[in-house]
Chain A
Amino acid sequence: KAGVTQTPRYLIKTRGQQVTLSCSPISGHRSVSWYQQTPGQGLQFLFEYFSETQRNKGNFPGRFSGRQFSNSRSEMNVSTLELGDSALYLCASSFLDRVNGYTFGSGTRLTVV
């Protein structure tokens, strides 16, 4: 059974650019969540999608957005990148999260220069 797949694994972007990260959840998982991990702030929730609808959103500026497709694959986009956006971005999928917890991907390491 394939795990949660995130692409790309590593990314270097310049300030002001935009970036799109992709996440393919485990087959059958309809819930996809995104988290940002930095040394200073730790793991912070970005947003959650369920059946193509954003179900929940964290406290991030509007430059951070996401979407989910009908096959449950999800993308997140960050526009007008800032140096502080450098982080490990983690995607997690779940089936009955309140019973089984979440399965995380290996993450995308974004560096903004």
Chain B
Amino acid sequence: SQQGEEDPQALSIQEGENATMNCSYKTSINNLQWYRQNSGRGLVHLILIRSNEREKHSGRLRVTLDTSKKSSSLLITASRAADTASYFCATAGGSQGNLIFGKGTKLSVKP
């Protein structure tokens, strides 16, 4: 079953604009991870934020985590056409180490 729900399901922006994707989840977590997937290929790990962290940066990526609201957001600044992909949040929690994925946000960045 899905744990995370991304919002929006699809997002279309122009190059140079910022893209914000949101993720909500249901149960307690150890960490939350964001992945990118290009056109039906494998997933690429972008960033991991632990449950005791509130914000994390990596290059043009900024992730926030609000455990009280069970939500996270991924901000991609100054988007490029190469950022066009599907983005998934995934939670890891409890005694089980497996990831539970949301359904993803499909981002399209137009040149």
Seen from chain A, the residues whose Cβ lies within 8 Å of a Cβ on chain B are: 4, 6, 31, 33, 35, 42-45, 48, 55-56, 58-59, 88, 90, 92, 97-107, 109
Complex partner residue of B98 from A4, A56, A99, CB under 8 angstroms: A56
| Count of interface residues, chain B, beta-carbon cutoff 8 Å | 26
Residues from chain A with Cβ under 8 Å of B88 in the complex: 43
Residues from chain A with Cβ under 8 Å of B96 in the complex: 56
Q: Given A42-B103, A100-B48, A101-B48, answer yes or no on A106-B42 (Cβ-Cβ < 8 Å).
A: yes
Q: Roughly how many angstroms separate A4 CA and B42 CA in the complex, as a whole number?
A: 10
Q: Roughly how many angstroms separate A44 CA and B90 CA in the complex, as a whole number?
A: 11
Other A-B contacts than A58-B98, A97-B97, 4 sampled, CB-CB below 8 A, are A33-B99, A42-B104, A56-B96, A107-B42
Residues from chain B with Cβ under 8 Å of A98 in the complex: 30-31, 50, 92, 97
